[in-house]
Structure 1
Amino acid sequence: MRKNSIKNTRINGEVQKELSNIIRNEIKDPRIGMMTSVTAAEVAPDLKTCKVYISVFGNDEAKKETIRGLKSAEGFIRRMLAKTINLRNTPELTFVLDESIEYGVTMSKLIDEVTHKEDKKDEENEEN
C-alpha cells in the first residue's frame, strides 16, 4: 500500500470532519443511530473514491440499519460534501462498519480479567 502524501492526509481529515457534520446535522433518516461517528475517511489519491469508516454504538441490528440508511443517503451526503469542500472531484462514498473500537474495549476487558485473576492468585499465595 502506498504511503499517503501530506496533501492526501489533509484531505482525509477535512473530508472526515465534514462528513461527521453532515451525518450529525443534516441527515434526518431515523435508521441512522444517534451514536454514529465517522472514525476515518480514506480518499483515493485521484479523488474518485472514498472509504468512510463508521462506528455505531448499539446492537448488530442498529449497526445494519445505520449502514443501510447511510447507503440510501449517499447521493445527498455527496452533494452536501461537494458544497462544503472544494475538490477537483467529489469522491464516491463507500461506507464501512468500523468495529475496531468495540474490539479494543473487548480486548481491554479480557486483559483486565486476566490481571485481576493474577492479583487474586498472588494474594492467596502471600496468605499461605
Structure 2
Amino acid sequence: MPKDFPRSRRVAEQIQRELAEIIRLELQDPRVGMITITEVVATHDLEHAKVFFTLLDGAARAPEVQQALTRAAGFLRTRLGPRMRLRLTPQLTFVYDTSVERGAALSHLIDNAVAEDRSQRPQPAADSDADS
C-alpha cells in the first residue's frame, strides 16, 4: 500500500463500516435511534478509536445519544472484535459531530447574503426594442 494510506486509516474505515452495521442491527438501546457514523479516527497503535456520529433528527438529543453509546461501548467493542480480527480491539470513544450543522448554517448564511445582494442590485430596464 502507498505510504499516504496508513494501516490506522484503513482499520478506522473498517471500524466505521462494521460499527454502523452493529449499531443498526444489534444495538437494542432505543435512545440511540437513527445515527450516522461520519468518521472514525484511530491512533497509530490502534489502541483507541474516536467515533464521530451525527443524528438525523438534530442535535437536541446528542448528549443522551452520546451517553447511550458510551454505555454500550463495551458491547460494541465485543461485537467488533471478531469482525475485525485484530490482536487488540480499540477502545471506543464517541463524539457528536457538529460539522454537518455548521455546514448547513454556513450554507444558510451564504444563501441569505446572495439574496440580499440580489435585492440591492438595480434591476435592468426591460428593453422593448430587443424583441424587434
Q: Is 1:53 matched up with 2:73?
A: no
CA RMSD of aligned residues (A): 1.7
Residue 41 of structure 1 corresponds to which residue in structure 2?
Answer: 40
| TM-score between both structures, scaled by the size of structure 2 | 0.85
| Structure with the greater alpha carbon radius of gyration | 2
**Counterparts in 2 of 1:112 and 1:40: CA distance versus 1, 3 Å:** same
Question: What does 1:1-128 correspond to in 2, within 5 Å?
Answer: 5-34=5-34, 36-122=35-121, 124=122, 126=124
- 2-structure distance, mates of 1:4, 1:79: 30
Count of residues in Structure 1 that have an aligned counterpart in Structure 2: 123
Residue 29 of structure 1 aligns with an amino acid whose one-letter code is D
- 1-structure distance, mates of 2:63, 2:84: 28
Return the offset for 1:5.
4.7
Instruction: Single out whichever of 80-89 and 4-13 deviates more from structure 2.
Output: 4-13
Of Structure 1 and Structure 2, which has the larger fraction of its residues in helix? 1
Runs of 4+ in 1 over 6 A off after TM superposition: none
Secondary structure of 1:70's aligned partner: helix
Which sections of structure 2, spanning at least 5 residues, go unmatched?
126-132
Residue 24 of structure 1 aligns with an amino acid whose one-letter code is R
Residue 22 of structure 2 aligns with an amino acid whose one-letter code is I
**Counterparts in 2 of 1:25 and 1:4: CA distance versus 1, 3 Å:** farther
Which sections of structure 1, spanning at least 5 residues, go unmatched?
none
